[in-house]
Structure 1
Amino acid sequence: MKFVRNINIFTMTEFIRFFIPFYFILFFVVSFLGISIAVARKIGKSPDVLPKDDSAYALVGWYFKLIMAALFIYTFLFLLFPETMEEAFRIPVWEAEEVQYAGVIMMILAFIWVVIAQCQMRESWRLGIDNQMKTELITHGLFQYSRNPVFLGMTISLAGFFLVVPTAVTFLFLLVGSIVMQIQIRLEEEYLLKQHGPTYQSYKKRVGRMFRLY
């Protein structure tokens, strides 16, 4: 029994070693690079409209990119040193593999959710707030259940990552990432309210910020 358990642990460790970097690389390629290229072709400009000045909003964008860079470095180190990274700063809350499997499922479903939401946004998708071009207010599809399905999916993805690798580092990614996304959400809500007025106000009453209210 002990031998079988050791094999299971080894197998899970090896799976996580390759799953984590592959997942986040695929997430970036599809949900950021791929969608950016597709939208840019439709609207004739880059959908990355995060400001590069010294404003508070630009600082939010800078933190977002910093988190992305740190996440890539962490997952790359995970590929090279899986056991070390999995044990470093570990939070011994749970040890069951079932929790890790649940985290993997959350990450996969979150990725699918984000891609579907981005496809439903079509050319309205932006990385930041576009003050130069008015975008369509999307209220169909996943946007019937969440006003911010992309950010919801990204939050669930980070939560799943923490379940798979319960360390202080992954918890920090979840905490800081969630804070930055919540700030971005509120900035976008102010913009959408100015752009769409009563239509967006009515939409806010029907659908919750992260999930639908009944």
Structure 2
Amino acid sequence: LFSFGGKLYHYSVPVPYLENEYLKIIGLFLIHIALLWVMIAQYQMQNSWRIGIDETHKTELRTNGIFGISRNPIFLGMIISVLGLFMIVPNALTFFTTLATYFIIQVQVRLEEAFLTKQHPVDYPKYTQKVKRFL
């Protein structure tokens, strides 16, 4: 919206009292930390990395490294990233994007948990007792 002119930005319903430099700096920090976090998680997944649920290939359950802190570090990074975006550009559009991202990820996580419970019936339930869903 900024690209098409400043007047269009007002249609995104900005939240002026959240527009300050401290929140922008925190938002930028969160986005960069989230990017690094996601890159580490993708690297540590190695051959287990898939987009979506792949029922044709059995993958190894990753429980060490960053997966010893969070069962869903990539999704956590995505949530933190959109939260950071909202802090940088606080308006109704980024707020609802943050909410939608959070709820869609919640649905996807539960689908993946059901799949992983079927694929790893002994190890995955033990893992869920040790490591939290996000943090």
TM-score by length of 1: 0.60
Larger helix fraction of residues: 1
1:102 aligned partner: 26
Q: CA deviation at 1:203?
A: 0.4
Matches within 5 A, 1:36-47: none
Matched, 1:206 2:130: yes
Superposed displacement of residue 82, structure 1 = 6.3
**Percentage of matched positions with identical amino acids:** 45
Gaps spanning 5+ residues in structure 1: where? Answer: 1-76
CA–CA separation in structure 2 for the residues paired with 1:92 and 1:169: 14
Tell me the C-alpha RMSD between the 2 structures. 1.4
CA contact (8 A) 1:117 1:142 kept: yes
| Distance in 2 separating the partners of 1:199 and 1:130 | 19
Q: How does 1:27-176 map to 2 (within 5 A)?
A: 77-78=1-2, 80-81=3-4, 83-84=6-7, 86-87=9-10, 88-176=12-100
Structure 2 residue runs of 5 or longer lacking an equivalent are none
Q: Normalising by structure 2, what TM-score?
A: 0.93
Q: Distance in 2 between matches of 1:185 and 1:111?
A: 19
Q: Paired residue for 1:181?
A: 105
Render the CA deviation track for 1:115-150: whole Å, top value 9, x for unaligned. Answer: 110010011111100000001100111101000000
Residue deviations 1:94-118, cap 9 Å, x none? 2321111110110011011001100
Query: What's the counterpart of residue 36 of structure 1?
Result: none
Which runs of 4 or more aligned residues in structure 1 lie more than 6 Å from their structure 2 counterparts after TM superposition? Answer: none
**Contact map agreement 2:19 2:89 (CA 8 A) in 1:** no
Higher RCO by CA contacts (8 Å cutoff, separation 6 or greater): 2
Alignment: residue pair count? 134
Give the C-alpha shift of residue 198 in structure 1: 1.6
Q: Map Cα deviations across residues 23-81 of structure 1 (whole Å, 9 max, x no partner).
A: xxxxxxxxxxxxxxxxxxxxxxxxxxxxxxxxxxxxxxxxxxxxxxxxxxxxxx44x23
SS at match of 2:74: helix
Deviates more, 1:149-158 or 1:84-93: 84-93
* Contact 1:162–1:170 (8 Å) recurs in 2: yes
CA contact (8 A) 1:158 1:174 kept: yes
Q: Are the structure 2 counterparts of residues 85 and 138 from structure 1 closer, same or farther at C-alpha, using a change threshold of 3 Å? A: farther
User: How much has 1:86 moved relative to structure 2?
Assistant: 4.8
Taking a change above 3 Å as real, the CA distance of residues 82 and 107 of structure 1, as seen in their structure-2 partners, is farther
